[in-house]
Structure formats: structure tokens, C-alpha cells
Amino acid sequence: DYTFNDLVGEDPGFRRCVEDLKIASISDRSILITGESGTGKEVLAQAAHKHSKRSGAPIIPINCAAIPEQLFESELFGYVGGAFSGARKGGSPGKFELAEGGTVFLDQIESMPLEMQAKLLRVIEEKRVWRIGGKKPKPLDVRLIAASNRELEEIIREGDFRTDLYYRINVVSVKIPPLRERRGDIPLLAKHMIKKYIHSPEDIDAYLPPTLLEEIQSYEWPGNVRELSNWAERLLIFERSTIDVSSQAGLSSQETDATKVDETPRQASPEVMKLSEAQALCIREAISRNKGNLSRAAADLEIDRSTLYRKMSKLKIPKSKAAAVEANPTSPHGIPGSHALGIRKLREAESVCIMNALSRNNGNLKRAAADLGIARDTLYRKISNLDIPVEKVRPESLD
């Protein structure tokens, strides 16, 4: 488990975030940690738990994005024996019970279905938990830390997150800055990561010469600290060979003025599919595949039905069955549809579309965003939210 002493960084914004979290961790109030994917939200949650009066009890992490909707309640709150077909004899405690006296860390809480949000709110307010099939609630003493890589206010406006739950979990809010906003910490973090794997600290300069430190400081790091850690491991693999280390370690050719945000519109290439087109194509396919049944289509896409309605409205997709496309559609540019790629989940369709745009533009985020028909800041958020492995789509050689 991490403590506050394990955190590396001197950036004023990052240190302010850490100090705020230190103060907040002493109380027993709920904490909301926000920040892009890979910024270290779980590490900070562990540090806050270790700094609290509950440090002697466990911190139980729950990744809300990894739990199938039908298993949410049993995972979080447990069940009694015979509660449903296949239920374990004697029942099973949920994650909240396992955290008794300690902390529950709800990561990617924005992925929690609306129905579960209502049940979570009840547990928070009443400090009791009901197992599925149980007749009596169990008293509960846990501290809640939630995390999201999206702005929950935006999700509330979209109708996918409850306002009352937001106020319950957002008693104290801490936002972790992305790595591109704390560039001075990049050399510190890189050296810290390399030191963990080498025998002699004197070798640091051989692995990280000044020219390479300058290069990694100018890079955008859309995957944040997680991507930097991955890069450091690959750097160690290639060591000081004659291979271009920066290339093999995964740095792409990007503009030297990477910190600038230039949203000048550029006409997309005719073969490029915009992100909205990929979304609409995937949704139409799901509707067609499920013969117009929107509940089943939403389940197929792995999104809430309310989210499906909202996206259909935004993308101007009629709700009638007749509006569904025929099997194996093509985009307006003649690109094979999501069905041809074997894609059912909306999240996967978005990922493929974005990775194609990044690959087509040699990792240049500004040009990829223009092709996708979105702002570069929106592309940053999408890369973060979708956990896109950007190092896989960047070229091996520098331009």
C-alpha cells in the first residue's frame, strides 16, 4: 500500500492536491478524487486511507467499470444462501462488508448504473447494507473514497449520474493534474521509476541523458503516469544499445510546441470516419441486431438505456425499429461498419475509431482530433476515459 511519502512530485498544483488530501483524510468524510486515466487516483486513495484513523482496517478497491451490470448488487452488498440460482450455500459478503471499519474505494464511479446509484445512496445515508435476499440489514462502518476520470457534473447534465449521490460523495473534492500540466515532475518520476530496477544509482544518467529528459518533458503523455511507467520499463529493456532508445521506448514525433492547443479546423480526409459516425453506426447495428428492442440494444452496447436514449437523440437516430440499418452497413465514406470489425460495445467502437485516426496521423493529436471532428481537449479526455494504449498506435521511428 502507498503512503503520502511514496508520492513523487514538486509541481505546486500536484503538491496542493496532496496537501488537501492529507487534511481531508484525517476526517471521516467522503472524498471524490478526479483526474484523467493514469494520473494515480488509486495511489492517492491508498495514501489517504493510510493517513486516516482507519489505516488498521482494509481498503477495498472496487472498479465499477469492470463489474457486469447484473452482478453489481451482489458484488457490492453480498447475498444470502438461496437468494438466486447458483448462489453459494451460506451466502457471501459483499465488498462493503469486507471493508468494515476501513475504506471502500469506488473507482470509475461514473460507470455505475443509475439503479445501483440509488441503492448506494441508501447505504451511505442509512449506514446499513442489505444482502440480496436478506431480511435484515447489517450495520456498516466504512469510509467512502470515490474516483472518476470524467467530470461528474457533465455526466449529471447528460442524465447518467444522480445529483443526490454526487453531493454525498463529493464532500471533499481533489483533482489530480495531468502529467502534461506538471512537466517539471516528468524527469523526477522517470528517475524514480528507473531507480527501482537498477543496482547502481550512478547509472541513472546513462539511462536518462539530458537530451532524452528534454524529449520526454516535451511529450504530451496522454496516458499520464501509467504511460510514463510503461515507457520507463521499455527503456530498461533496450538499455544503452545502438537502437534509437526514444523511438523503441515509444515516443512519437509530436510538435515541439506540444503545450499549445491549436483548434484550427482542418478538413477531414475523405476516407476518415468521424467519431460521431462511428458511434451512430455502432448504435444502429445494435438496434438492428436486436430487432428494434432498445433495452437489449443497450445491454449489447454495455450502456444504460437512458444513455442510449440520450445518444440516439444527440446523433439524430430515430427510435423506430424501421430506422435500424441493415446488417453489415457502411459509413458515409464507404468504410465497413462496426459489425464487419466484430465490434458490439460502443466503447470498443469509439476506441477503434480513435486509434485509427491516431495511427493515420502518426500520433499527432491535433490532426487526429480534426479528422474525428472533435476538439483536441475532447480527444485527450476520450483517450483517458477509454484507456486507449496510445503507445501501440504511435510509429516506431521519429519523423
| Ordered structural domains, the chain, with CATH | 4-177 (3.40.50.300), 184-248 (no CATH), 275-392 (no CATH)
Q: Which of 391, 389, 380 is nearest to 235 (CA)?
A: 391
Strands 138-139 and 128-129: antiparallel
pLDDT of residue 234: 81
How far apart are alpha carbons 301 and 281 in whole angstroms?
Answer: 12
Crossing angle (nearest 10°) for helices 224-238 and 185-195: 50
How far apart are alpha carbons 3 and 19 in whole angstroms?
Answer: 13
Cell digits for 237? 529493456
Residues in the chain predicted with pLDDT less than 50, given as ranges, are: 240-246, 248, 252-271, 321-341, 392-399
How far apart are alpha carbons 379 and 369 in whole angstroms?
Answer: 6
- pLDDT digits over 126-157, tens only? 999 999 988 899 999 999 999 999 889 988 98
pLDDT of residue 238: 65
pLDDT of residue 391: 58
Which residue is associated with the grid cell 529493456? 237
Cell digits for 266? 482542418
pLDDT of residue 69: 82
Contact between residue 212 and residue 77 where contact means Cβ atoms under 8 Å apart: no
H or E stretch at 32: strand 31-34
H or E stretch at 283: helix 275-289
How far apart are alpha carbons 384 and 287 in whole angstroms?
Answer: 28
Output the CA–CA distances (angstroms, integers) from residue 270 to 265, 277, 332, in the order listed: 15, 13, 10
Kindly compute the dihedral angle of the four CA atoms of residues 67, 68, 72, 78, in this order, to the nearest 10 degrees: -80
Q: CB within 8 A of 223, min separation 6: which ones? A: 37, 38, 230, 383, 384, 388, 389, 390, 391
- pLDDT digits over 170-227, tens only? 999 999 999 999 999 999 999 999 888 776 766 788 888 888 899 899 888 988 999 8
How far apart are alpha carbons 314 and 337 in whole angstroms?
Answer: 20
Residue 359 Ramachandran class (φ > 0 left, ψ -120 to 50 alpha, else beta)? alpha
Whole-prediction pTM value? 0.67
Rg of the chain, C-alpha, whole Å: 23
pLDDT of residue 386: 82
Cell digits for 268? 477531414
How far apart are alpha carbons 95 and 105 in whole angstroms?
Answer: 10
Q: Dump the DSSP string for 33-83.
A: EE--TTS-HHHHHHHHHHTSTTTTS-EEEEEGGGS-GGGHHHHHH-B-TTS
